[in-house]
Structure 1
């Protein structure tokens, strides 16, 4: 993956991004009062090769002027046939409100559909209000199955 949205470069993760990408996610979680859990919910950020790349998922880095300002990812799951979970879609505060989140979600959906997946699951926390609004406006329907401890909402979208 390599694409642009305005001044933002969206590209595939590289091993040299590991610590900086993790710091972006940790920063956003702390902003909303959510815990950074590198041994639990965030272990996938530390072990991207195992959790994403080796299983047919992707992990993207969003850069602005050479600085990592966001992340977005997905990996296949076995809750349903041909399903993925979108994960780790985080943007630093100064790049929010510019349409980048919507663009990222649309790019993820396009790539996921091109790879033959039929269903997307997303888990989030109610305090991430911008994310909740984005998912609901983008056609995601609430479901009750939430597996991540710090999350209290889950959504599903069937791709056509």
Structure 2
């Protein structure tokens, strides 16, 4: 992946991004009063090769003037039919409200569909108000079965029938 949205570069994660990507995610979590869990829900950020690249997923970073300002990722899950879970979709406060989140979600969906997956799952927390609004306004339907402790919402979207 290498794409631009305005003057933001969306590209594949590289090993040198590990610390900076983790810092973005940790910062956004703390902004909303959620804990960074390097041995739990966030260990995938520190082990991208194992959790994403080796499983058929992807992990992207968003750069602005050489600084990482956001992340977005997905990997296959055993949750539905040919399903993936979108994870680690975070943007720093300074780059929110520009349409970047919606564009990132659309690009993730396009990449997922191109790989033949049929369902997308997303877990989030109610306190992430902007994320909840984004998912609900882009066709994600509430579901059940939250698996991550700090999350209290789960959504699913079908990619079948050309959606």
Quote the offset at 1:80 in angstroms.
Answer: 1.3
Local SS of the residue matching 2:107: helix
Quote the offset at 1:144 in angstroms.
Answer: 1.3
In 2, the alpha carbon distance for the partners of 1:101 and 1:18 equals: 21
Quote the offset at 1:81 in angstroms.
Answer: 2.0
**Alignment deviations for residues 83-124 of structure 1 (CA, whole Å, 9 cap, x no partner):** 000000000000000000000000000000000000000000
In 2, the alpha carbon distance for the partners of 1:122 and 1:15 equals: 25
Aligned position for 1:94: 94
Aligned position for 2:119: 119
Aligned position for 2:20: 20
Aligned position for 1:128: 128
1:49 aligns to 2:83 (yes or no):
no
Local SS of the residue matching 2:10: strand
Local SS of the residue matching 1:24: helix
* Residue correspondences, number: 160
Q: TM-score, normalised by structure 2?
A: 0.98
**Alignment deviations for residues 22-59 of structure 1 (CA, whole Å, 9 cap, x no partner):** 00000000000000000000000000000000000000
In 2, the alpha carbon distance for the partners of 1:12 and 1:62 equals: 9
Misfit runs of 4+, over 6 Å: none
Where in structure 2 are there 5+ consecutive unaligned residues?
Answer: none
In 1, the alpha carbon distance for the partners of 2:152 and 2:4 equals: 32
